[in-house]
Structure 1
Amino acid sequence: MKKQVLFIHCGGTQGPNTGSRDLVAYLQDALGSGYDVRYPQMPDPDHPHYATWKNVVACELRSLQDDALLVGHSLGGSVLLKFLSEENITKPIAGLFIIAAPFFGQDEWDVEEYELQHNFFLHLQHAAPVFLYHSNDDEVVPVKHLTFYADLLPHASVHELSYGGHLFGNGLQELVFDIKQLNALAPYESL
């Protein structure tokens, strides 16, 4: 049976050389036929709202098998963290992979609907492994957002990279390695 991966994309247009599309294509190719990478188109990505994205995430999670892997890129990562820390998740999740996610409520990233509850980390500290990725050449979300998350999620595996920009259009080798490594390990504690 193929390992399921749910990828929640970034905000903005999703097409060739834009948004998360190239990163998803890389991930599908690099993971190979043993993985089923799902990439739902989120509602109105140019004008996203948490409530509508939350509904899609909830629906997608219900359709997944137990122990799926969740990947969120940029806004998609922020949405996954908010969703998993606020909702009652009954289905086990094998791993959470967050790429270049903004930490809402910091600096100019004050968008209340995406802000995490002050104790969000308490809901994730005994969860499935959490992996954080961010490039120090990210031109959209400053790399200091990685530090905000890392400080509150001390159990997370943190990757501060020197390549990739914000979109990681040429791929993210560390993500592929971590997914394959995690999938090879068993048993593991799930969300």
Structure 2
Amino acid sequence: MKQLVFIHGGETFDTYDAYLSALREWDYDPTKEFGERWKNSLQEELGEAWQVLAPSMPSKYNAKYVEWCIWFEKVLPHLRDDVVLVGHSLGGIFLAKYFSEHTLLVSIAGLWLIAAPFDTEDTDYSLADFTLPESLENVSKQAKHIVLYHSTDDPVVPFPALDKYKEKLPGATVRIFSDRGHFLQERFPELIEDIQSL
């Protein structure tokens, strides 16, 4: 059975006060709380030949890199060779940073970074302790295939982040969209097709 690990996105803040301010400003939308998203249908779309692991990362509204590392490392003993890893938004930069610092004991068949932030240039958000190191060479060494997805109309992560990843991960395949925003749609057939083509 093939394996896929999905790491969801989240929010980061430099200070607890900044986090509290954001909580006060955000609106609650009950339609988004349990809305249908492609990440929730990965198992269904990929089928019985796949095992999808989708850990709920700690404190997603005030994420801390070290906390995410601790929880992610609880998943690692369950992985087998040729695992596929998919990170969306903050989950993408988490995987890039984690594998720049650590070497997995099993082989990575594919790594997908979807709408992943690269840095805080041209944005008003913080990456806190999720900031990438200078080199992502260890990421390239570990993943047999790296695929970068970004949409030109992403309102959250500026499109130039894609170019920065392309520069640091020169062997990566790039998929550019023009109408997906921050990839919050119900279905993601291109992702399913790419994963199944491995």
CA contact (8 A) 1:4 1:64 kept: yes
Q: Determine which of 29, 50, 68 is the counterpart of 2:65.
A: 50
The residue aligned with 1:11 is 10
Give 5+ residue unaligned stretches, structure 2. 12-27
Pairs within 5 Å for 1:141-180: 141-180=157-196
Give the percent of matched residue pairs that are identical in Structure 1 and Structure 2: 37
Give 5+ residue unaligned stretches, structure 1. 183-191
Partners of 1:110 and 1:44 in 2: CA distance: 15
> Which secondary structure does the structure 1 equivalent of 2:37 belong to?
helix
- Number of residue pairs matched? 177
Partners of 1:47 and 1:110 in 2: CA distance: 11
Q: Determine which of 135, 145, 152 is the counterpart of 2:151.
A: 135
Q: CA deviation at 1:98?
A: 0.8
Partners of 2:7 and 2:105 in 1: CA distance: 19
Q: CA deviation at 1:126?
A: 3.0
The residue aligned with 1:31 is 46
Q: CA deviation at 1:25?
A: 2.1
Q: If the length of structure 2 is used for normalisation, what is the TM-score? A: 0.82
Partners of 2:33 and 2:72 in 1: CA distance: 20
Amino acid at match of 1:142: P
Partners of 1:111 and 1:38 in 2: CA distance: 25
The residue aligned with 2:23 is none
**Is residue 22 of structure 1 aligned with residue 50 of structure 2?**
no
CA contact (8 A) 1:5 1:69 kept: yes
Change (3 A) 1:67 1:175: same
Please provide the CA RMSD for this pair.
2.0
Q: CA deviation at 1:112?
A: 4.6
Alignment deviations for residues 55-110 of structure 1 (CA, whole Å, 9 cap, x no partner): 12222122112211100000001001100110132221111011000012534355
